[in-house]
Amino acid sequence: MGRDAASQRKVLAILSDGKPRSHRDIVKELGLSDPSVWSVLRRCWRRRLILRTKEPVYWGERVFRGGAGVRTNPRPFHLYVFAPSDNDDGVQILGREFVKFSEQFYNSRGCYGGESKSKLIMNFLKEHQDKAWFSKGVVEALKDRGVKITDIMANVRRYERQGLVYVRGYRNDSGQTPFNDGYLLTWIDPDKPREQAIEEAVQRTNEALVGIRSVSPIIERVHLIKDLVIESTKLKDLVSLTFLQNKLDCSEYEVEEAIIRTLQLYPDIKEIKLFDAYRYFYHKSMADEDLKAAITMKENYIRIIKGRSNRIGHNWEACVEWFIDKFTVGAKFWTQSHRTEKMDPRRITIHLIKSVGRRRLNAEVDRVWEVTPSVFAQPITYILECKWGLIRKRSVDDFLEVLRWSKDFGVNTSEGRQVKQGVVGVFAGSAFDPKESVHLKNEKVSLARYANRINIQLLKASDFNEKLHEHGCPTALTVQRICKVARDEGEARKLLEAIWADPKKSLETLAEVERKNKALYEFEDVLRSQINPKQMSES
């Protein structure tokens, strides 16, 4: 008793200044053990020597998980103060109500009216066992009794392990994920035969899902994807991601979400990636011989239809590099040896410490160069990513993730994985979607402003065209035309040099190259004409 009495005196002494403190605060200030402080607080509160907050305080506790980044876990706790002798009801401090001991407030996890939230949730499901409830629906029904969304699954999982509650979500090989309105919950009657009780629970969840399928766009897309894949499999063909997006008539974000859900719900639908870039889907019922034949056909199709696109894309990289080299003083480009001589040595392969999208160990960036502003300044490293076509937010975010998780350019910080100081990302696109805006916490900004906030510079074809026109080239000459006319990256650079040297004759120079490469364009047109209309719709 002597040691407990000494601990109690210390706790009461530190609380006597009227400043609210949590259990952790008291342990830290007094250096006592956790159990000792808990015992004193519980005893003093029962004796009404101290006051405790009526409702628990929730604090987002930030925990650094190394490569996984920073995680925020909500932690409930109470605050304690010394009880004034002239107040029998409690006090208000900084907007929080502090109360004396009562059975109504006894449960440390936040009971309401003497009944725990766990009991409230269990009794609700038991009393309404004739139907299934989404977790959000349970919160809505019990919110006036203090139940929050964070209270539901933590308690329901205990009853699930006891065999009293059936929990249903999107199923896959490794587990479940919630529906849009949370997990679907229903009571399992322990008084009935086990098989019958489970069968009835499943039937109730089926009935609950039927009511939302007609109004849930993602469910409709999932069913359509399944039908299209099965139809294509019967025709011994593969379905491309582009074909699905055109059929669904939705954004790339929506079709990606629908595909993820489809693969979760229907494990029989498989995905295959050709040339580590082009995604196709099929049903596992397709015979191995038919699958091999379909893959061969798609690979030939990709080689044909993507040849011109790859040529223009590589020419775009060369043009961006030429302008950077031309207008950046002291730029030193990195080079790297590759297994094939056809690959530009200035295209750099970087190592990743965590997978980004479908990249596992490595990722390619188009150019890396360094600039030293002055003799006494540290060099700034620029990393370039080029993409031909309409650019959206997803492409910019993907580039940022590559930089953050790269071994050379990313670093672990107290705020999670970040891009190193002195490293700047540069994203060059032929055009950026003018309709796309980014929704942040309290505002909506353009894609250009969004990229600036995450320290990524955007370069557009119009920026380079402006430089050409300022130099004296006619407005009919554009970087886009140069990319389409040049045979390869080397010719694109030579063409830019010739145009810059004599801007007045730039259109004649361009026309001469166009005449020289006429056979190449005709060959590409012939290849395209050999593809049937169905394949053209997938390009």
Tens-place pLDDT, residues 267-298? 899 999 887 778 899 999 999 999 999 888 88
**Sheet containing strand 269-274, strands side by side:** 239-240, 278-283, 269-274
**Six token digits for residue 497:** 């040099």
Task: State the amino acid at position 4 in one-letter form.
Answer: D
Is pLDDT above 90 for 186? yes
> What per-residue confidence (pLDDT) applies to 187?
92
DSSP of 372-413: --STTSPPEEEEEEEEEEEE-HHHHHHHHHHHHTBTTTEEEE
Q: Do 176 and 168 touch, CB atoms closer than 8 A?
A: yes
What digits encode the pLDDT tens for the residues 142-169? Answer: 887 778 888 888 888 888 888 899 998 8
Instruction: Give CA angle at 306 (430, 448), nearest 5°.
Output: 20
> What per-residue confidence (pLDDT) applies to 452?
83
Cα gap 395→387, rounded to integer Å? 9
237 or 440: which leads in pLDDT: 237
What topology is assigned to 117-213 in CATH? Arc Repressor Mutant, subunit A (1.10.10)
Domain ranges of the chain: 2-105, 117-213, 217-286, 306-533
Q: How confident is the model at residue 105 (pLDDT cuts 50, 70, 90)?
A: low
Q: Do 70 and 63 touch, CB atoms closer than 8 A?
A: yes
What digits encode the pLDDT tens for the residues 238-257? Answer: 988 888 888 887 767 778 88
According to DSSP, the β-strands at 184-187 and 165-168 are antiparallel
Asked if domains 217-286 and 306-533 share a fold, the reply is no
CATH class of 2-105: mainly alpha
Is pLDDT above 50 for 534? no
Cα gap 163→176, rounded to integer Å? 17
Q: Which residue has tokens 């004396």?
A: 100
306-533 maps to which CATH number?
A: 3.40.1350
Residues above pLDDT 90, as percent of the chain: 19
Which CATH number fits the domain 217-286, given the four candidates 3.40.50.720, 3.20.20.70, 1.10.10.10, 3.40.1010.10?
1.10.10.10
Is pLDDT above 60 for 405? yes
Average pLDDT, the chain: 82
Cα gap 54→107, rounded to integer Å? 11
DSSP H/E element including 127: helix 117-127
Q: Which candidate, 346, 387, 352, places its Cα nearest to that of 368?
A: 346
Is pLDDT above 90 for 436? no
> What per-residue confidence (pLDDT) applies to 527?
58
Is pLDDT above 80 for 535? no
Q: How confident is the model at residue 450 (pLDDT cuts 50, 70, 90)?
A: confident
